[in-house]
Amino acid sequence: MKKRVVVTGLGMVTPLGTGTEKSWNALLEGRSGIRKITQFDASDFASRIAGEVPDFEIDRFIEIKEQKKMDRFIHLGLAASVFAMEDSGLKVTKDNAGRVGVLIGSGIGGLTTIQKYHKILLEKGPRRITPFFIPMLIINLIAGQVSIRFGAKGPNSSVATACASGSHSIGDAFRIIQRGEADAMIAGGAEAVINALAIGGFTAMRALSTRNDEPEKASRPFDKDRDGFVMGEGSGILILEEMEFALKRGAKIYAEMIGYGMTGDAYHITTPSPDGDGAARCMKAAINDSRISPDELSYINAHGTSTKYNDELETGAIKRVFGEHAYKLAVSSTKSMTGHLLGASGGVEAVISVLSIFKNIVPPTVNLTNPDPECDLDYVPHKAREMEVNIVMSNSFGFGGTNACIIFRKYPAA
């Protein structure tokens, strides 16, 4: 018998603000977090805009002596984890520590640290490299630092599957609890690569928007005039618990997680398969795992990156999976406001998906002023929509053709 898994805590740090409530309220207001880049001089770059976290005060979350041991992606992930753990009320004790685990992913990890110390190496030599260099940048140290912070001694791992990292992390944590290997998991994603090397690399791929004069309008999923994604940074963390464990301690339950699918395109290093086959099979796998029928779904938080191929192919895959019900679904891309947080996007969008169920409201897709004829679903344009939200799917598709879909349901089930 698979254990049932519920969501008891939520944490977000995004370009819309530090803290779950601040980010959620901005989403409902349709506000964009995209601005001119301030973290480095981007004047020579074709893309000079990004979604930077605007109000992050690191001293609130991490002691000064510990800050220097971590890359910024760990700073943001730790902060989101603090929010999520406080929200859940879960206390890690000597008795339960071995049953509480951490699974947090990142697509790229500490690239800013690599860039910084490569320069130091060239200019000042190897003796000036800090002994904390490696622990600062490797991806699994986000899970390591969070486990140390809370004393969680259960399963501890990280996922690095590009833009699907956050969703794969949550899905894998879900499986761990289903199998009975843990009672609770701190799960999600974190990313912070708004630096010259990353922006330069993605610009060289022609993946980024160059709408530099109108930053807030640059991320425009499903719009005919979209010209690429906008880089964002941040973290989204969920506390997942085995249902009986959560009920026994009197936890607040936001929603139940009921399904997880993962597939591969086996097609191209960056472009999705042209028939949307990998995305469609992933959504079907998550639906089958959930033991629901496709027409029970209320809302899809789309991957919706604001790139030509992704938006068209995801739309086609949704129609392939849901048939006529695709036109009855609410489908929105919150990347229109947050930008694309790469490995953190699945974590942030999972938090948003759960809140949409808990509060019965769907965030909008902003900047959808000239809809692409190939993208003809209900993308909840411009304004949030109050509606009954019972079951939500969140999609994440990454470079290399790696796909993840996760599904949440209202608790208790109607």
The catalytic residues are 163, 303, 340
Question: What does DSSP say about strands 255-264 and 5-14: parallel, antiparallel, or unpaired?
Answer: antiparallel
Question: Tokens 């843990």 sit at which residue?
Answer: 182
Q: How far apart are CA 90 and CA 251, in angstroms?
A: 8
Sort residue 332 into left (φ over 0), alpha (ψ -120 to 50) or beta.
beta
Q: How far apart are CA 222 and CA 235, in angstroms?
A: 24
Question: What does DSSP say about strands 402-409 and 391-398: parallel, antiparallel, or unpaired?
Answer: antiparallel
Cα angle 147, 149, 151; round to 5: 55
- Could you tell me how far CA 260 lies from the centroid of its own chain? 15
Pair of tokens at residue 44: 């020579």
The 3-state DSSP class for residue 280 equals helix
DSSP-assigned letter for residue 231? B
**In Å, what is the CA distance from 184 to each residue of 8, 121, 274, 300?**
10, 42, 39, 26
Amino acid letter, residue 10: L
Cβ pair 345, 166 in contact under 8 A: yes
Question: Tokens 């993308």 sit at which residue?
Answer: 379
Q: How far apart are CA 70 and CA 53, in angstroms?
A: 17
Longest dimension (CA), the chain: 64
Cβ pair 177, 185 in contact under 8 A: yes
